[in-house]
Amino acid sequence: MKRPKVHLVGAGPGDPELLTLKAARLLREADVVVYDRLVAPEIMELVPKGAARIFVGKATSNHTLQQDEINELLVRLAVPGRRVVRLKGGDPLVFGRGGEEAEYLAAHGVDCEIVPGITAAAGCAAEVGIPLTHRGLATGLRFVTGHCRAGEALDLNWQSLADPDTTLVVYMGLGNLGEIATRLVAAGLPATTPAAAIANGTTPQRQICRATLADLPGAVAAARLASPVLVIIGRVAALARLPASHQEERHEPAAPARRA
């Protein structure tokens, strides 16, 4: 007898053409798809007309289902022979709570196949021509979340993050961008460090603000960027090469000095 199984699939950063071939195949074969808020409508069009679609999207202070309810839903849906796809924006294991869902499924006797997706950092940076690593400018790369639970402080190791030789990518940091910039500068990262904020990356609604780290919060507020926003901080942000179709609020940082 077949064991129950859930496919935990990454939908990529927004552009439906960045969906992997494996993800597209699983969607076309699905009996039920449990999907998040940032999954492009064009991607959902791959789902067969007779398949069930269950929306469990989350926005700040507005959760269709709490995470524990989503976990329980997946277990209930996973019956032998039913093709269940849990579809998440970006990569399911990069700030997508996919690891929690996989653990819960395993604890309840449900197999879980994880299908990676292009994470927002890779997709959005590539679209605007920012290399996440670049010889002479960045020897490392770090992903952090700029989101914290309601009523709790943003608990990051600021001294560790304030490394001028590292590219810092902040997911879900729009609401705390001012604090992030202030704390990084206080920890020693130069206020003149190039930075960029990309809203709705890889979609027709994309916008980008470029400024120094100190000026970025004001530039983002002036441009009225709305979630989802990805923030890239580091010398590489000054290398952005934008197609003519991009919307940009320019607060141009100085060109980065290469290290010897």
What pTM does this model have?
Answer: 0.90
Indicate if 58 belongs to the active site: yes
Indicate if 44 belongs to the active site: no
To the nearest 10°, the Cα dihedral for 177, 183, 186, 187? -120
Report which of 229, 230, 189, 236 is spatially closest to residue 213, judged by C-alpha positions. Answer: 189
Could you tell me the pLDDT band of residue 152, with boundaries at 50, 70 and 90? confident
249 touches 209 (CB < 8 A): yes
The whole-number pLDDT of residue 80 equals: 96
| DSSP letter assigned to residue 220 | H
Q: Is 62 helix (H, G, I), strand (E, B) or coil?
A: strand
Q: Which of 69-83, 127-141, 182-196, 244-258 has the lowest mean pLDDT?
A: 244-258
Burial (CB < 10 A; 0-12, 13-18, 19+), residue 37, is: middle
Could you tell me the pLDDT band of residue 242, with boundaries at 50, 70 and 90? confident
Q: Is 86 helix (H, G, I), strand (E, B) or coil?
A: strand
Which strands, in side-by-side order, build the sheet including 5-10? 52-55, 32-35, 84-88, 5-10, 111-115
* Mean pLDDT of the residues in the chain: 92
Indicate if 155 belongs to the active site: no
13 touches 90 (CB < 8 A): yes
Q: Could you state, in order of their start, the residue ranges of all structural domains in the chain?
A: 5-115, 120-250
User: Which carries the bigger pLDDT value, residue 258 or residue 193?
Assistant: 193
- What does the block give as tokens for 44? 């959902």
Superfamily of domain 120-250: Tetrapyrrole methylase, C-terminal domain (3.30.950.10)
Tell me phi and psi for residue 172, to 5 degrees.
55, 40
Q: Looking at 15, 36, 91, 215, which residue is catalytic? A: 36
Q: Looking at 88, 91, 163, 172, which residue is catalytic? A: 172
Beta strands in 200-253 (DSSP E): 207-212, 229-233, 247-250
- What does the block give as tokens for 173? 């940091």
The whole-number pLDDT of residue 64 equals: 75
Q: Looking at 31, 44, 58, 111, which residue is catalytic? A: 58
Which residue bears the tokens 């292009």? 118
Which residue bears the tokens 């020693």? 188
Architecture of the domain defined by 5-115: 3-Layer(aba) Sandwich (3.40)
183 touches 158 (CB < 8 A): yes
Q: How do residues 103-147 score in pLDDT, each as one tens digit?
A: 999 999 999 999 999 999 999 999 999 999 999 999 999 999 998
d(CA 254, CA 239) in angstroms, rounded, equals 10
